[in-house]
Amino acid sequence: MNNFQERLKELLEEYSLSRLALAKKLSISSTTINGYFNKNYYPTIEIALKMAKFFNCSLDYLFGLTDNISPLSLKSSNFIDRFNFLMKSKNNSIAKTMGELNMSEYSYYRWKKGLLPKTNKLLDIIKYFDTSLDFILGYGK
């Protein structure tokens, strides 16, 4: 079981909710929720944000990256602004950063247009920059 699965299981127990009940509250299919447990995959960031808002916790807490449950608090700037800030703080170029992340530069330009990376890629990015999901998505300082 990964950290996300463990934390989601804990939250379901704490809120006395079944997987089906959570699916209904989030307006997603129960198959999707079951997939997080049975197929070991992550939710999209949009669904993860719905979960974090529902459970009144941070994304970092939801993914088991911290034990601090503090709720989401939208700050300023967006993903690409924060990504660029972190990239510049390492004195890296786009090519170098994307190469070290084993991602294409095309992905970077998609992000500049407002698209977000897939959850597993975001987890790679936060490890690379030693930061948090909450920060990179604009929910933390």
pLDDT per residue as tens digits for the range 81-137: 999 999 999 999 999 999 999 999 999 999 999 899 999 999 999 999 999 998 898
pTM of the model: 0.82
What was the pLDDT predicted at 76? 63
As assigned by CATH, the class of the 79-136 domain is mainly alpha
Residue 92 identity = N
Q: Domain boundaries in the chain? A: 3-62, 79-136
Average pLDDT taken over every residue of the chain:
90
Question: Using the 8-state DSSP alphabet, how is residue 30 labeled?
Answer: H
What was the pLDDT predicted at 29? 93
- Give me the residue label for tokens 């997987």: 19
- 3-class secondary-structure state, position 81: helix
Instruction: Given CATH 1.10.260.40, say whether it is the number of domain 3-62.
Output: yes
